[in-house]
Amino acid sequence: MTTVPATSPPSESIQSPVREMAAIAVPVSLEMVIQLVLTFVNQIIVGTLGAAAVAAVGLSGSLTFLFFITLGALGSGTSILVARRAGANDAAGVNQTLTLSLGFSAVVASLLTVPVVLGSAGLLRLAGGAPEVTAAATPYMQVAMLSLVPGMLGWILSGALRSLGHARTPLVATTLAVVVECLAAYGLVFGVGPLPQLGVVGAAWALVLSNVLKVGLLAAQVYGPRHLARLALPRPGARRAIIAPLLRVSAPLAFTEFAWSLGGFLYAAIFARVGTQALAASQITGTLEGIFIVGSFGLMSAATVLIGRSLGAGDAAGARTWLRRITRAGLLTGLGFGVLFGLSALLVPSLFPRVGDTVHQIALVGILIAAATQVVKVRNMIVGGGVLPGAGDGKGVILGDVVGAFVVGLPLAIWWGLYTPLGVWGVFMARSLEEVVKVAIFEWRRRRLDWDRLAREHQGQDLPAAH
């Protein structure tokens, strides 16, 4: 095996544990907060077109997100493997894993984009939105799907940068990209200056522009003058030894992310059947929730990177220690941001003055219901999204997501939302109960992990010797 000590973050040995964790978690969380805040600004821009426009973007967005988050598992898998290679000081392994992952993801995303664009109208009709919502959502989704390929490449490069100790770089790239997206959305929705007035579709073109810009910035940082990695396609005989662990780690993540995002899409379909106002309110609630829950999102990345490095170095005690530190931090951030999320309900009428009083009232109660389980959601994010996948327990992640959503949450949402007087409140309650079920399953699986065995298995075993 070729070893290059510089692969590991140079400051790792001198940072305190809190600073080391914060060096990954804070930039990731800030990146997500900035992205969601400006996405929320875009939603406000679209909201000036009325409740139907907000519902259209939300409905198409929930379906588009399904494809993004499923393929995003390749980015998470790459981040885990790169972290292990960094922990083992294997620069050649980092280069080969990243190169092969980028090429594989580009091919898969391209093959998926074409049929989804062509079948957007049919997929949206299955969601059951009102005719005016579906009519506006179809062109939006067709354009938004064009950002899938650059979006996936950006996801992979961001994860690799964090694993290599450069978590601030994706933060800068994302900030620049979403600012451009916000400005472009405003210009293209309303036709400012020389830009055409495209209405809702203008926001989709802004999304495409943002993703293309972001992947360009990230690629320049990874492969440019900083030389953090280099393109290095392994020999044909060695490619299987890289693809196999990538798929072994990513496939369970892809399945569970697909199941989770499919559940989100089905919840949106249930809200749509309750009514357009319920759907619009659910999208406002979900966007606000995203802004506050991503304050803890970086802890999931911290778990992936720090536990992955420990396992790659054969340090089981270190992996257990990082688990305790990160889950404790998740409890504190979940409580703090949960309170702020609940208070944000007071801002809905002023942020969305044209969607109507009924939407305001639904969003108010929906936010309070969702805020009550914020701590549980953060725990699920850390354990189900970071700890279990990094430890190779894909079955536990699948079990939690499938049982929580498809055995408990969605059936109750259909029953309470469509067949009882609870109506829209029943759907919000069912989503919260789903999180409670998931946390019980994830904690059960976490307690079953054998960290000593995992450290022995992952130390230097993911890749063959580099030549």
**358-408: pLDDT as tens digits:** 888 999 999 999 999 999 999 998 998 788 877 878 788 889 988 998 999
d(CA 51, CA 80): 41
Q: What is the pLDDT of residue 238?
A: 65
Decide which of 77 and 102 is more confident.
102
DSSP character string of 74-117: HHHHHHHHHHHHHHTT-HHHHHHHHHHHHHHHHHHHHHHHHHHH
| Domain locations in the chain as residue ranges | 17-458
Q: What is the pLDDT of residue 406?
A: 92
Name the burial class of residue 85, with classes exposed (0-12), middle (13-18) and buried (19+) by CB atoms within 10 angstroms of its CB.
buried
Position 439 pLDDT exceeds 90 = yes
Position 466 pLDDT exceeds 60 = no
DSSP character string of 384-428: IIIIHHHTT-HHHHHHHHHIIIIIIIHHHHHHHHHHSTTTHHHHH
Most confident residue range from 3-17, 47-61, 74-88: 74-88
Q: What is the pLDDT of residue 11?
A: 40
309 pLDDT band, cuts 50/70/90, is confident
Distance of CA 276 to the CA centre of its chain: 26
The pair of three-digit structure tokens given for residue 8, joined into one six-digit string: 């590991």
Which residues touch 207 (CB under 8 Å, ≥6 apart)?
143, 144, 147, 181, 185
Of 48-52, 134-138, 277-281, 315-319, where does mean pLDDT reach its minimum? Answer: 48-52
pLDDT tens, position by position, 81-125: 887 777 777 777 788 888 888 888 888 889 988 888 888 877 777
- The DSSP code for 347 is G
Q: Which of 154, 381, 119, 431 is nearest to 265 (CA)?
A: 431
For the entire predicted model, the pTM comes to: 0.66
